[in-house]
Every structure is written in structure tokens, then in C-alpha cells.
Chain A
């Protein structure tokens, strides 16, 4: 069965620091990959997605993610974080030929020190 692993449970950074959140998935076939974000008090929303093509995808608010097929990874990056990036970040995968079953990782809580 497919699964998603996010190894960093809680990351604390200062403003302007660079960010990289890890995401690994287990599935041997074609995958679609996503990062969702949940800001405090708000609902989950899509940050970016990869379906095919350029493995470096750009999302909203300056975030990007790189799909490395050989490593089964889809890490999220941002060169310079802001206090407003404080949120919980979830990696998700959609795999298989059936209808879009999306599996989420356990999430990484990001805290930014002003």
C-alpha cells in the first residue's frame, strides 16, 4: 500500500532562514504529489502540486518542491521564510489507476521566530 513519510515533526526557524521539509513516499508506479498547508485557524489548502513534466514545481507564496523519482522524494523548499509561513505542512500522494485517493503524511509543524 502507498504511504507518505514526513520525518520532521516540528521545525523552528528564524525569519529569512531557508526552509526544506522532507517528504518521501512509497509507491512504484506513477504518482501525483502535493503539498498542502494549514495556517492557524484556517482550513487545509493546496500549496503546490506535481503531475508530470518539470520536476521542479513552483507554488504560491514563494514555495517550490522538487520531485526526485529515484529517491521517491518531494521535498518542499523556500529560500527565505517569513513569520506568516508559520503553519502545518502536509505532503500527499495520489497513486494508482483508480479514482483520486489521496494519502496524506503526518505533517510538519513549522514555527517561525520573528
Chain B
């Protein structure tokens, strides 16, 4: 079974530039998550989708972050404009359904903002 795919693995940008991350979940997984993991901290949920609808985006900084999951499959997370404090690993995860609790993570996209 193919895992969660993310790209790019690494990205370096200057502050105020924009960046986009892509995630393809495991086939058939209805729930998709984006987490932000800052060095030395645990993953922090940014947004959760159930199929193509948003379930929770309470911690997404909506003035600069946006995410979509068109057609309920793959997803894109965008940051525009980036700030220094956005330097982190952006993790995508998927799960088969609601309340299963088991998340399958991708390898993450490491963002460095200079």
C-alpha cells in the first residue's frame, strides 16, 4: 500500500515570498490533516478535512495560510506571504475515517524562511 506522499521535501524561501505544499493521501482515506511541527515541539494541527469539507481550521492563520482539498483527494497548503516564524516541517496525514484515531503521516515538507 502506498503511503502519504508529500512534496517538496525541502523548500527555502525569503520572507514575504509564497510557497505551496502538496499532499496525496492514502487511497480511500476520507480524512486529511495538515500539521505544523516547529523544531522542538510536537505537531500542531492546522486544518482537518473530511472528504473535501473543512472539519477544523481553528488554528490556521487565515491571513496568510490557505488550504484546499478539491475533489476530496489530494490537498494543497499555501503560505502567502511567509514569515520567519513559519519555518517548520509541514506534515500531511490521512486516516480512513472519523474517530479511528490512527493517522498515517507523510515524510513532511521542511520549510526554511530566511
Contacts and interface: CB of A to CB of B under 8 A. Distances in A.
Interface residues of B, number: 28
Contacts of B105: 43-45
Interface of B: 3-4, 31, 33, 35, 40-45, 48, 50, 55-56, 91, 93, 95, 98-103, 105-108
B95 A107 contact: no
Contacts of A42: 107
Contacts, number: 65
B10 to A, nearest CB: 13
Interface in A85-114: 90, 94, 98-107
A34 B100 CA distance: 11
**Contact-residue size bin, chain A (C-beta under 8 Å from the other chain):** 20 to 34
A46 interface: yes
A44 B31 contact: no
Interface of A: 4, 6, 32, 34, 36, 42-46, 49, 51, 90, 94, 98-107
18 contacts: A4-B42, A6-B42, A32-B101, A43-B4, A49-B101, A90-B42, A90-B43, A94-B101, A98-B56, A99-B31, A99-B55, A99-B56, A100-B99, A100-B100, A101-B48, A102-B33, A102-B103, A105-B42
